[in-house]
Chain A
Amino acid sequence: MNHKTFEMHLEAALHRSTDIPADQTPGPDLINSRNQGHMDAVIWELKKEVVKKRSRKRIGFSDFLLLQIKMTGWKIWLLQGMMFLGFVFLITAILGPYIWLDHRYTTKLLCYFSILISMTALPFLHRSVHYKMQEVEAATRFSSMRLLLAKMLLLGIGDVFLLNMVLITAALRTSIYTGSLVLYLLFPFLLANGGALFLIGHLNAGHFLQGSLAFYTLLITLVTVVRYFSPAFFQQTLSSGWLAACAGMTVFCIWQLRYIIYRSSYSEMQLN
């Protein structure tokens, strides 16, 4: 950074601290009239600029994300794909190949699929703790939080791809109304993700994996129980009520994500 740029940054910092319009220069009487707390804020802002001046050039979040795609993104997508295929083979092995042509099971399978697609995130969310990388990662510029966001973005790309693949396949192979197909993919997926996000923000690292597995098991059990005791549940369409439910779950997911970023002690919980 050259001196002129540094001077501009210092002036900007001073204006930020004193709420003085950018086109005015603060006089000594104005500064003296502030209380000590305000003076401390001014001094801190100026000192921060001095430290920043010593900083070296660093990459932004988008470059960091591209690097994560190169280093870990392809592994995440590969594993998501393999887990998904594994589930397809398992279902075929247990229920036979004609299960995919039986329309009575389509909406139920979509529910299971969407929960399992959400579950593919678990190995990657727990990996840092499992391999004891979390402390090194936490102490870096991008830290645990932004690394988590990068992982979630990468996982989200994989999830969207898989969900769309399943939706297109189901739409082409069945005569079930597309709205219903969307409902039985989207709602369980949002429910599963909402629960997982809640657990990320509230469980420490030592309990996250067990807690998440218990949660997903509960969800799959719930779908199975509803399947047997209330089969009419799987004959719904994407009505305004269900749209509102999906919107509510989306809001819940966003709320949990904001909680993780701004209020949770996520980084510290990874150390326990």
Chain B
Amino acid sequence: MELYVNNVSKQFKDKRAVDHVTLNITPGVWGLLGANGAGKTTLMRMIAGIMKPTSGRIEYDGIPIDRLKDEYRDIFGYLPQEFGFYPEFTVKNYLEYVSALKGLTAKESRRRISDLLEQLTLTNVCNKKIAKLSGGMKRRVGIAQALLNDPEVLILDEPTSGLDPAERVRFRNLLSEFARDHIVLISTHIVPDVEYIATRNAVMKDGRLISTGTTEELVKLVDGKVWSAMIPTKYLPEYEQKLRIVNLRNEGDDQVSIRYLSERPRTEDSVPAVPRLEDLYLWLFPQDTLEREG
């Protein structure tokens, strides 16, 4: 089982959203990281077959997906970044509607809906209107529809957005279990959500793939660039101007511990910190650091 993205590009009128991306996706959890506008959603839409590449092709087990057509649609599940519901749908109605669109027989549809409602703890709300559910529950319903056809490939675009920490942990565990014999591709800019479960990651910037590898391999790229230090609280505004601070914590006694990114130590007492995937993300996408501070 293998998805091969072969030199794929997508040109819109005013922008090249994906620029000659080549990626070989094998079973396991793949994290697709990148800032807003990096091209992740466009790439995922092309992998899902709902958008045609301007050039290049995507193959599943060696066959171009546009040749497979219905057979490809049968083996993948897709959760888009933004999705909604018809207002009259209850959870069960919605899953029945999507089951019909996925071509499931009535028997299989009933079986899968029952299994998924239980697996995603939605049984108690199955007859409730989706519009009245919390954000986290709506997201679970979205995940349920992606899993209806028991896919071999699962493509999830920002799946944990809006979920609380407990739900995110539950979701990560569900995906880890699913990914044993399947391909799972998650795009996110919530890095911790993939840091613990992704077997491999791909990083996108301005439409291009700038790096791929395991979490450990990628984190090595910022080895020696992550520092921690203690600074007096009164100097914090000054340091915030000078340094790329990725985390700070008030330690009391007018002291603040900071974690920052730099090629070299910028304070006398700076010590190297163990880098994380989030540090790599913020090193590659400094704009996100500014947005977080804002």
Interface residues of A in 54-97 (CB under 8 A from B): 54-59, 64, 67-68, 71
Q: How far is the CB of A1 from chain B (nearest CB, A)?
A: 13
Main secondary structure of the interface of A (DSSP, over half): helix
Determine whether A127 belongs to the interface, using a CB cutoff of 8 Å to chain B.
yes
Which one of B50, B52, B64 lies within 8 Å of A139 (CB-CB)? B50
Quick check: A135 and B73 within 8 Å, CB to CB?
no
Quick check: A141 and B68 within 8 Å, CB to CB?
no
Nearest B residue to A137 via CB reads B101
Determine whether A268 belongs to the interface, using a CB cutoff of 8 Å to chain B.
yes
Cα separation A144 to B50 with both chains bound (whole Å): 9
Quick check: A48 and B67 within 8 Å, CB to CB?
yes
Cα separation A44 to B62 with both chains bound (whole Å): 8
Quick check: B83 and A268 within 8 Å, CB to CB?
no
Determine whether A232 belongs to the interface, using a CB cutoff of 8 Å to chain B.
no
Cα separation A132 to B85 with both chains bound (whole Å): 7
Cα separation A139 to B72 with both chains bound (whole Å): 10
Interface string of A126-152 (1 = CB under 8 A from B): 010001110111111111100100000
Quick check: A139 and B61 within 8 Å, CB to CB?
no
Nearest A residue to B60 via CB reads A51
Cα separation A136 to B80 with both chains bound (whole Å): 7
Known A-B contacts A136-B145, A138-B50; the reply to A131 vs B100 at CB < 8 A is no
B223 contact set on A, CB distance < 8 A: none
B60 contact set on A, CB distance < 8 A: 51
Which one of B63, B82, B83 lies within 8 Å of A47 (CB-CB)? B63
Q: How far is the CB of A17 from chain B (nearest CB, A)?
A: 12
Determine whether A271 belongs to the interface, using a CB cutoff of 8 Å to chain B.
yes
Known A-B contacts A56-B74, A133-B86, A139-B73; the reply to A71 vs B52 at CB < 8 A is no
Determine whether B51 belongs to the interface, using a CB cutoff of 8 Å to chain A.
yes
Q: How far is the CB of B95 from chain A (nearest CB, A)?
A: 11
Determine whether B105 belongs to the interface, using a CB cutoff of 8 Å to chain A.
yes
Interface residues of B in 52-75 (CB under 8 A from A): 52, 60-64, 67-68, 70-75
Cα separation A55 to B68 with both chains bound (whole Å): 11
Cα separation A22 to B64 with both chains bound (whole Å): 27
Cα separation A137 to B146 with both chains bound (whole Å): 11
B128 contact set on A, CB distance < 8 A: none
Cα separation A36 to B104 with both chains bound (whole Å): 38
Cα separation A263 to B48 with both chains bound (whole Å): 20
Cα separation A13 to B45 with both chains bound (whole Å): 30
B193 contact set on A, CB distance < 8 A: none
Cα separation A56 to B75 with both chains bound (whole Å): 9
B96 contact set on A, CB distance < 8 A: 71
Interface residues of B in 68-117 (CB under 8 A from A): 68, 70-76, 78, 80, 82-87, 93, 96-98, 100-105, 108
Quick check: B85 and A131 within 8 Å, CB to CB?
yes
B102 contact set on A, CB distance < 8 A: 140-142
Determine whether A256 belongs to the interface, using a CB cutoff of 8 Å to chain B.
no
Cα separation A44 to B101 with both chains bound (whole Å): 27
Determine whether B49 belongs to the interface, using a CB cutoff of 8 Å to chain A.
yes
Quick check: A58 and B104 within 8 Å, CB to CB?
yes
Question: Lowest 4 CB-CB distances: which A-B pairs, in order?
Answer: A132-B84, A58-B103, A140-B101, A135-B80
Interface pairs (23), CB distance under 8 Å: A43-B62, A44-B64, A48-B68, A57-B108, A58-B74, A59-B100, A59-B104, A64-B103, A71-B100, A132-B83, A132-B84, A133-B85, A136-B83, A140-B73, A140-B98, A140-B101, A141-B74, A141-B101, A141-B102, A142-B101, A143-B101, A268-B51, A271-B50
- With contacts A51-B68, A139-B50 known, what are 18 further pairs, Cβ within 8 A? A44-B64, A47-B61, A48-B71, A51-B60, A51-B71, A54-B75, A58-B74, A59-B105, A71-B96, A131-B84, A131-B85, A132-B84, A135-B50, A135-B80, A138-B50, A139-B48, A139-B49, A271-B45
**Residues of chain A at the chain B interface (Cβ within 8 Å):** 43-44, 47-48, 50-52, 54-59, 64, 67-68, 71, 127, 131-133, 135-144, 147, 265, 267-268, 271
